[in-house]
Amino acid sequence: MTRRHRVLGGTGIEVSAHCLGAMMFGSAGNPDHDDCVRIIHAALDQGINVVDTADVYSAGESEVIVGKALAGRRDDVVLATKVHFPMGEGPNRGGSSRRWITQAVEDSLRRLNTDWIDLYQVHRPDESTDIEETLWVLSDLVQQGKIRAFGCSTFPAEQIVQAQHAAERRGLGRFRTEQPPYSILARGIEASVLPVCQEYGMGVLTWSPLAAGFLTGRYRKGQPVDLSSGRAALNPERFDPSIPENVTKLEIVEQLVELAEEVGCTLPQLAVAFVVAHPAVTSVIIGPRTIEQAEHLFKGASLALDGAVLDRIDQIVPPGTDMYTADGGWTRPVLTDPGRRRRPLAERAAV
Per-residue pLDDT at 233 = 67
Distances (CA, A) of 174 to 8, 146, 158, 241: 14, 16, 15, 43
Of residues 290 and 227, more confidently modeled: 290
Given a cut of 70, is residue 124 above it in pLDDT? yes
Residue 72, pLDDT score = 95
Q: Please write the tens of the pLDDT for every residue from 294-331.
A: 999 998 899 999 999 999 999 999 999 998 776 555 66
State whether the Cα torsion 164-170-171-174 is positive or negative: negative
Q: What's the confidence (pLDDT) of residue 131?
A: 97
Strand spans (E) along the chain = 5-7, 14-16, 18-21, 50-52, 78-83, 117-122, 147-153, 177-179, 203-206, 283-286
- Residue 191 CA, chain-centre distance (Å), reads 18
Who has greater pLDDT, 60 or 213?
60
Q: Mutual orientation of helices 267-276 and 291-299 as an angle, nearest 10°?
A: 60
Closest CA to 286 of 32, 88, 19: 19
At residue 245, the pLDDT reads: 85
Mean pLDDT score of the chain, rounded to an integer? 93
SS3 (DSSP) at 208: coil
pLDDT of residue 205: 98
DSSP structure class, residue 290? S
Residue length, the chain?
351
Residue (of 159, 114, 107, 112) closest to 134 by Cα position: 159
Lowest mean pLDDT segment, chosen from 166-175, 258-267, 291-300: 291-300
Q: pLDDT tens-digit profile of 181-200? A: 999 999 999 999 999 999 99
d(CA 152, CA 159): 10
Contact status, residue 58 vs residue 310, Cβ threshold 8 Å: no
Q: What is the DSSP letter of 78?
A: E
Region 278-292: mean pLDDT is 96
Integer Cα distance of 54 and 56 in angstroms: 5
SS3 24: coil
Average pLDDT over residues 141-146: 98
pLDDT of residue 291: 95
User: Cα separation of 29 and 229, whole Å?
Assistant: 12
Pair 3, 301: CB distance under 8 Å: yes
Q: How far apart are CA 247 and CA 230, in angstroms?
A: 19
Is 60 exceeded by the pLDDT of residue 73?
Answer: yes
Residue 18 backbone phi and psi in degrees, to 5: -110, 135
Residue 189: predicted pLDDT = 96
Give the lowest-confidence range in 38-42, 58-62, 342-346: 342-346
Please give the pLDDT value at position 334. 76
Residue 212 pLDDT: 87
Provide the pLDDT for residue 237: 77
Q: Which pLDDT score, from 0 to 100, does residue 330 have?
A: 60
pLDDT over 80 at 350, yes or no: yes
Residues 195-242 pLDDT 10s: 999 999 999 999 999 998 889 988 888 787 777 766 666 677 777 888
CA distance 86 to 26: 17
Q: How many Å separate Cα 141 from the centre of its chain?
A: 23
Q: How confident is the model at residue 106 (pLDDT cuts 50, 70, 90)?
A: very high
- Cα angle at 341 between 340 and 344, to 5 degrees? 85
Please report the pLDDT score of residue 347 as a whole number.
86
Where do runs of H (alpha helix) occur along 113-243?
131-143, 157-170, 193-199, 230-234
Can you give the pLDDT at residue 247?
Answer: 86
Whole-number pLDDT of residue 329: 57
What per-residue confidence (pLDDT) applies to 324?
Answer: 76
Averaged pLDDT for residues 81-89: 95
Name which of 5-9, 238-242, 247-251, 276-280 the model is least confident about.
Answer: 238-242
pLDDT tens digits, residue range 46-56? 999 999 999 99
pLDDT, residue 234, reads: 66
The terminus-to-terminus CA distance of the chain in angstroms comes to 70
Is 324 tagged catalytic?
no
143-168: average pLDDT: 97
d(CA 127, CA 140): 21
Contact 207, 287 (CB under 8 A): yes
